[in-house]
Chains A and B, each alone.
Chain A
Amino acid sequence: MFKQYFKQVIYQLKENKLISWISILGTAFSITMIMVLILILQIKNADYRPEIHRNRTLYVLFRDIMFKSNNTRTGSNFSLQHDLVKECFYSLKSTEMVTAYSKGQEPVYSTEYSNFLPGQIKYTDTTFWKLFDFKFLYGKPFTEADFQSGIKKAVITENIARTLYHTENAIGKTLLIKGVAYNVCGVTEDFPELATHAYADVYVPYTAAGVNDGFTCLLLAHDRDDFTAIRQEIKANIERFNIKENETYSHLRDQPYTHFTQTLFHFNTDNTQTKETIIMYTILLLFFLLVPAINLSGLTHSHLEKKMEEIGIRRSFGASRQQIISLILNENLILTLLGGVIGLTLSYACLFLLRNWLLGSEQNISIEALSSPKIFLVTFFSCLLLNLLSAGIPAWKASNKEIVNILK
């Protein structure tokens, strides 16, 4: 059966070159736009190394400081201090683990390399290494004992190791941050900057650097269902913490954020506009599907008018209406799938060539993020949907015509 469809489609392609190519290009273009959107969302929100638990992680990024007297803000988007983190987040019982990190940009250098590198430094605890899945090329992360004693150990990425020491095995070498010496205890594999929470050039224990402020908290839940329980526990902890303050109190707004919401947060906005963003994405996807579907619908309709004789003959030889509809849909599906394959390839090309403004980063995207089977499933379903939308109504109309009227 499919062989016959195939042969007919190939014949049609050769016969009406212009129209067939318009259909295929129309489908391809639609699939490209849809898949670029889906791929961007995938890169920003899916789990891939080293951020492998994004789907069950909650984030606390800042706090507002409010006056107790009149409940107004003294200012907003203040960072979390260590005692707040310790009392309200480290003590949580409903989470699997909690980690906090602070970050900065400081000159890093070594005795073997004469210049400074403006390095991104993350000041972390040891749970950081459990939450994220880093691949260590050499050595291992600093231990809990190192962290508690504030020992100056550092983990660096292979890029930094190569630049500062001309070798990737930099274990035991001295790293100077702001003039203070750290001992390199681990070298990790490079990964894209797009994993913003895990990404840095150098990682040191925050106890070693004496960092007390500027923390971001990540909370890993056992399961997404625990999110409500965690939020309630945090609320209770914050209330307890605020009793001690006299004039001001800390307010977390609607944090902790899920991963998707925190990608929408900017430091000069008041709310994350999650709902508006989701509505916007839905409207965009609808446009990407509907406008080409209407185009293709018109083309299919006109094409079917030509095919009416063939349909009439089939009907008179006993084909049911169902069979006619499935014949038309299946033939169209082959064209749609062809367009879908071209569209998906184009979307990968677009993402690679335009990654500067689509993703905000010049670095390479991890292949892991882009080749999950989910992507191919979504492409296939989009093709099916497009096919149904574009060929469904014309097929139904064509199958309903009386045989006598057609063959006349």
Chain B
Amino acid sequence: MIRNILKQLWNQRRVNGWILIELFLVFIPLVIICDLLITFHLSYQQPLGFNINNTYLIQLYEKPSNAIDYVSTELSGSNSNEDFANIISRIRNLKYVEEVSATFRAYPYNGSMDGGSYKSYHPNDTITAYGIYKKVSPEFFKVFRIQTSNGQIAGQAHPYQFVISQSLADSLKVNNGDSITVGSSNSYIVEICTHTRRSEYNQYWEEGYEVVPESILLKYNFVPDICIRIQEGLSNEQQQKLWTDIQKACQVNNYSLFYWKSFNEIRKQFITIPTNLNNYSKSFLTFLLVNVFLGIIGTFWYRTQQRRIEIGIRMAMGANKQSIFIQLILEGIILLSISALPAIIVNINNWKLELIIISEGTIATHFYAITATFCMLAMTIILGIWYPARQAMRVNPADVLHEE
């Protein structure tokens, strides 16, 4: 049957030429897009290393000293650091608040961060690795559920220590309990947490946390961000009451609540660019597939109309309805295969020469992308041929041959 089909396709090469060119033109960008989408998907699946469900960021506002209603230290009896610590403990005592931590530019999905030079000491040499550096209190790990490899919350073992991500530990070749330094700090014991990364669209990165008790952290001269984790499954009224309580808790002397944001919202803002790329790619993919569908259904509609006599003869010579249906479907698939071959060659050249690259794919993702594109196009073609083929199945040989 296939040889027969090929001969027929060759005989009508003028008409089939259109479809071949279209499929060729469509195959190439589809593979590039599939590559991107597969890379994104694989990246998305990997664990993040932290959990942001039910977590919120609270920003406080501190009145400057030239404000109209500024409360001076003499009047209030406490300085701003003590006020801040007071606020933290008030929030901690609220019902429905599970964990509270004060951090400085350490929370996830953050645009700005500091880096540090980590050093590990071995009998033969010193290894230096560069990684992200964050200073946090032990409560930070409870808020974002950052865990060590045996499922415990990290950062709780010693009052002063370093928690480093698995990638950084691998670069420094250290295990739990070894000592490292960062920059000019003292030497601290290391605890290794699971792999972490910046967002679902980034790879694992080398990150380290210097753990400092909260009371010491709050004595530094900056207004930290407050990150809290609230209880799961609160109703709307409970949440509203909670935020009113939090607002009251933040009202201490010159401090008040400025605004609060859920980490889901912060995350959405942070991953806007890759999310948009994702959406644009999916739209373009849909556009190309819909066009292929429309083209195939139109062409094959005409084809079945024009070849009714041939179908009639085939049926008269013993073909059953199924085989007419399958013949048409096969025609489409063979057309796809013929155009796929040069398209795949173009794509492989594109990757080798790195002409149009929009994703960081590996050879595996390239292979998956080609397979996925072929399958998607095949399904679109089958869908497009389905209706005309069913019409062809209904041809009554006697009527058609009578017309002839």
List chain B residues, Cβ under 8 A from A305.
306
A sample of 22 inter-chain contacts (CB < 8 A) reads: A18-B297, A18-B298, A19-B301, A29-B290, A29-B291, A107-B61, A107-B258, A116-B258, A179-B68, A180-B66, A287-B288, A291-B22, A291-B288, A294-B22, A295-B22, A295-B294, A295-B295, A298-B18, A298-B295, A301-B15, A302-B298, A302-B299
Q: Which of A86-117 contact B (CB under 8 A)?
A: 107, 116
Write out, one digit per residue, whether chain A residues 283-308 have a CB within 8 A of any chain B CB (1) or not (0): 01001101110110111011101000
B335: min CB distance to chain A, Å: 12
Is A229 an interface residue, CB under 8 A from the partner? no
Q: Which of A1-38 contact B (CB under 8 A)?
A: 18-19, 22-23, 25-26, 29-30, 33
Query: CB-nearest residue of chain B relative to A181?
Result: B68
Query: CB-nearest residue of chain B relative to A23?
Result: B298
Whether the pair B258, A301 counts as a contact (CB closer than 8 A) is no
Is A75 an interface residue, CB under 8 A from the partner? no
List chain A residues, Cβ under 8 A from B295.
26, 294-295, 298-299
Mark the stretch among B83-91, B191-199, B272-280 that contacts chain A. Answer: B272-280
The distance in angstroms between the C-alpha atoms of A305 and B21, with both chains bound, is 21
Whether the pair A179, B258 counts as a contact (CB closer than 8 A) is no
Query: CB-nearest residue of chain B relative to A350?
Result: B283
Is A317 an interface residue, CB under 8 A from the partner? no
The distance in angstroms between the C-alpha atoms of A357 and B272, with both chains bound, is 8
List chain A residues, Cβ under 8 A from B15.
298, 301-302
Counting from the closest, the 5 A-B pairs by CB-CB distance are A179-B67, A295-B295, A302-B302, A298-B18, A294-B22
Whether the pair B25, A290 counts as a contact (CB closer than 8 A) is yes
List chain A residues, Cβ under 8 A from B64.
178-180
Q: Which of A287-344 contact B (CB under 8 A)?
A: 287-288, 290-292, 294-295, 297-299, 301-303, 305
- Known A116-B258, A179-B64: A298·B276 in contact at CB below 8 Å: no
The distance in angstroms between the C-alpha atoms of A303 and B258, with both chains bound, is 67
Contact of A26 among B67, B273, B294, B302 (CB under 8 A): B294
Write out, one digit per residue, whether chain B residues 11-39 have a CB within 8 A of any chain A CB (1) or not (0): 00001001101100110010000000000
Is B259 an interface residue, CB under 8 A from the partner? yes
The distance in angstroms between the C-alpha atoms of A190 and B284, with both chains bound, is 34
Whether the pair A357, B19 counts as a contact (CB closer than 8 A) is no
The distance in angstroms between the C-alpha atoms of A34 and B362, with both chains bound, is 32
Query: CB-nearest residue of chain A relative to B65?
Result: A179
Whether the pair B61, A360 counts as a contact (CB closer than 8 A) is no
The distance in angstroms between the C-alpha atoms of A178 and B279, with both chains bound, is 40
The distance in angstroms between the C-alpha atoms of A298 and B64, with both chains bound, is 72
List chain A residues, Cβ under 8 A from B303.
302
The distance in angstroms between the C-alpha atoms of A23 and B291, with both chains bound, is 11
Is B237 an interface residue, CB under 8 A from the partner? no
List chain A residues, Cβ under 8 A from B25.
287, 290-291, 294
The distance in angstroms between the C-alpha atoms of A295 and B384, with both chains bound, is 13
Is A176 an interface residue, CB under 8 A from the partner? yes
The distance in angstroms between the C-alpha atoms of A295 and B18, with both chains bound, is 8
Is A118 an interface residue, CB under 8 A from the partner? yes
Whether the pair A118, B258 counts as a contact (CB closer than 8 A) is yes
Whether the pair B67, A291 counts as a contact (CB closer than 8 A) is no
List chain B residues, Cβ under 8 A from A295.
22, 291, 294-295, 298
B277: min CB distance to chain A, Å: 10
List chain B residues, Cβ under 8 A from A360.
272, 276
Write out, one digit per residue, whether chain B residues 250-294 have a CB within 8 A of any chain A CB (1) or not (0): 000000111100000000000011011001000010011011001
Is B69 an interface residue, CB under 8 A from the partner? yes
Given contacts A181-B68, A299-B298, A305-B306, 19 further A-B contacts (CB under 8 A): A22-B297, A23-B298, A26-B291, A178-B67, A180-B68, A288-B287, A291-B25, A291-B26, A291-B287, A291-B288, A294-B295, A295-B291, A295-B294, A295-B298, A298-B15, A298-B19, A299-B299, A299-B302, A302-B298
Whether the pair B275, A357 counts as a contact (CB closer than 8 A) is yes
The distance in angstroms between the C-alpha atoms of A188 and B26, with both chains bound, is 50
The distance in angstroms between the C-alpha atoms of A305 and B299, with both chains bound, is 13
List chain B residues, Cβ under 8 A from A18.
297-298, 301
B318: min CB distance to chain A, Å: 29
**In the complex, which of the residues A176, A284, A288, A298 has the most CB atoms of chain B within 10 Å of its own CB atom?**
A298
List chain A residues, Cβ under 8 A from B298.
18-19, 22-23, 26, 295, 298-299, 302
The distance in angstroms between the C-alpha atoms of A299 and B301, with both chains bound, is 10
The distance in angstroms between the C-alpha atoms of A59 and B265, with both chains bound, is 31
The distance in angstroms between the C-alpha atoms of A50 and B240, with both chains bound, is 38
B251: min CB distance to chain A, Å: 11
The distance in angstroms between the C-alpha atoms of A181 and B302, with both chains bound, is 76
Whether the pair A297, B18 counts as a contact (CB closer than 8 A) is yes
The distance in angstroms between the C-alpha atoms of A116 and B22, with both chains bound, is 58
List chain A residues, Cβ under 8 A from B297.
18, 22
Query: CB-nearest residue of chain B relative to A26?
Result: B294
Is B70 an interface residue, CB under 8 A from the partner? yes
Q: Which of B306-356 contact A (CB under 8 A)?
A: 306
The distance in angstroms between the C-alpha atoms of A284 and B68, with both chains bound, is 57
Is B219 an interface residue, CB under 8 A from the partner? no
The distance in angstroms between the C-alpha atoms of A299 and B22, with both chains bound, is 13
Whether the pair B276, A357 counts as a contact (CB closer than 8 A) is yes
B350: min CB distance to chain A, Å: 13
List chain B residues, Cβ under 8 A from A33.
287
Query: CB-nearest residue of chain A relative to B272?
Result: A360
The distance in angstroms between the C-alpha atoms of A119 and B69, with both chains bound, is 20
A98: min CB distance to chain B, Å: 30
Whether the pair A179, B294 counts as a contact (CB closer than 8 A) is no
- Known A116-B258, A357-B275, A357-B279: A292·B301 in contact at CB below 8 Å: no
The distance in angstroms between the C-alpha atoms of A180 and B64, with both chains bound, is 9
The distance in angstroms between the C-alpha atoms of A357 and B69, with both chains bound, is 42
List chain B residues, Cβ under 8 A from A266.
273
B148: min CB distance to chain A, Å: 31
List chain B residues, Cβ under 8 A from A292.
291
A386: min CB distance to chain B, Å: 12
List chain B residues, Cβ under 8 A from A26.
291, 294-295, 298
A228: min CB distance to chain B, Å: 33
The distance in angstroms between the C-alpha atoms of A318 and B299, with both chains bound, is 32
List chain A residues, Cβ under 8 A from B299.
298-299, 302
List chain B residues, Cβ under 8 A from A287.
25, 29, 284, 288
A281: min CB distance to chain B, Å: 12
List chain B residues, Cβ under 8 A from A23.
298
Is B95 an interface residue, CB under 8 A from the partner? no
The distance in angstroms between the C-alpha atoms of A30 and B297, with both chains bound, is 17
B331: min CB distance to chain A, Å: 14
The distance in angstroms between the C-alpha atoms of A230 and B231, with both chains bound, is 59
Q: Which of A102-150 contact B (CB under 8 A)?
A: 107, 116, 118
B390: min CB distance to chain A, Å: 13
List chain B residues, Cβ under 8 A from A22.
294, 297-298
Query: CB-nearest residue of chain B relative to A295?
Result: B295
List chain A residues, Cβ under 8 A from B67.
178-180
B228: min CB distance to chain A, Å: 18
Whether the pair A179, B70 counts as a contact (CB closer than 8 A) is yes
The distance in angstroms between the C-alpha atoms of A302 and B279, with both chains bound, is 36
